Amino acid sequence: MQTQKPTALVTGASRGIGRGIAEGLAEEGYAVAINYVRNRAAAEEVADGIRNKGGESLLVQGDVGDREDRTRIVEETVRDLGRIDLLVNNAGIAPKVRLDILETTEESFDYVLGTNLKAQYFITQDVAKRMIEWKKEGVVEAPRIVFITSISAYAGSRNRTEYCISKAGASMTAMSYAMRLAEEGIPVFEIRPGLTQTDMVEKVKEKYDRLISEGVVPQRRWGYPEDVAKVVRAIGRGDLDFSTGEVIEVAGGYFLKEL
């Protein structure tokens, strides 16, 4: 199904922030490759919703944390859609169990960093090389790359340190690719969501409800996937093309400090 539309590959797009981004990009006129790992029903729901509104979508199963899957995800997207105009590195996982830093296991560390850091580093490397060639050949006019990280890139948590380290590393990965790809005319952006209402935070929702009510988020509300999607949509339209390397926080003013 080679498409005439610009195309986007969104990793981890079957739920939460990824789903919001996929749906938003489809509304911007993108054909969207919806990557998922296990929940095909959820991914199909996203794809069907896009198609029902006249958009184009493609399901691409695979775990970006696995080298062979990661390669296949890119290959299948290119094979079926023809190219990738926009890569959105969204897939992310939390530790299976939150443990104090003195108890964190190597298995948990490797598990979290494998998806949240290593996968983003290497899938971007693969796609960026292709984008450079596509741009030279006139296949892709305006390639772009987005990293979805987190306020946990700088806000520590003593009982899920591997997650915070992975996001800090992803932040530097985004900066590094922005530096390297600027001369190629490929802008790279980092988006840092704050407390966002998705199933990832359900187990600790009461804690964050309290913190939000106490003002840890100055705007005193949860973020939603569509808040992040709005920024990705602007990037996808080319509104921020001369702002490569920018870190855009979508967190209700969390970074603001007041004495």
State the pLDDT at residue 114: 98
Interior angle at CA 30, CA 44 and CA 171, nearest 5 = 90
State the pLDDT at residue 149: 98
Query: Could you tell me the CA-to-CA distances from 233 to 2, 43, 61, 75, 185 in Å, in that order?
Result: 22, 20, 23, 24, 19
Return d(Cα 67, Cα 227) in angstroms, integer. 31
Which residues are catalytically annotated? 163
pTM for the whole structure: 0.96
All structural domains of the chain, each given as residue ranges with its CATH number in brackets, are: 7-250 (3.40.50.720)
- Bridge partners (DSSP) of residue 127 are none
The answer to whether the beta carbons of residues 194 and 249 sit under 8 Å apart is: yes
Q: What is the pLDDT along the chain (259 residues), one digit of tens a residue?
A: 578 899 999 999 999 999 999 999 999 999 999 999 999 999 999 999 999 999 999 999 999 999 999 999 999 999 999 999 999 999 999 999 999 999 999 999 999 999 999 999 999 999 999 999 999 999 999 999 999 999 999 999 999 999 999 999 999 999 999 999 999 999 999 999 999 998 878 778 889 999 999 999 999 999 999 999 999 999 999 999 999 999 999 999 999 988 8
Q: Strand, helix or coil at 61?
A: strand
State the pLDDT at residue 192: 98
What burial letters (b/e) apply to 194-211, b meaning 16+ CB within 10 Å? bbbbbeebeeeeeebeee
Return d(Cα 152, Cα 134) in angstroms, integer. 34
Q: What is the DSSP letter of 248?
A: E
Return d(Cα 141, Cα 255) in angstroms, integer. 35
State both tokens at 50.
Answer: 């896009």
State both tokens at 46.
Answer: 């996203």
**Which residue shows structure tokens 């913190």?**
211
Beta carbons within 8 Å of 96's beta carbon, 6+ residues apart: 108, 111
Return d(Cα 18, Cα 3) in angstroms, integer. 22
Q: 204, 184, 227, 219: which is closest to 95 by C-alpha?
A: 204
CB-based burial label for 2 (10 Å; 0-12, 13-18, 19+): exposed
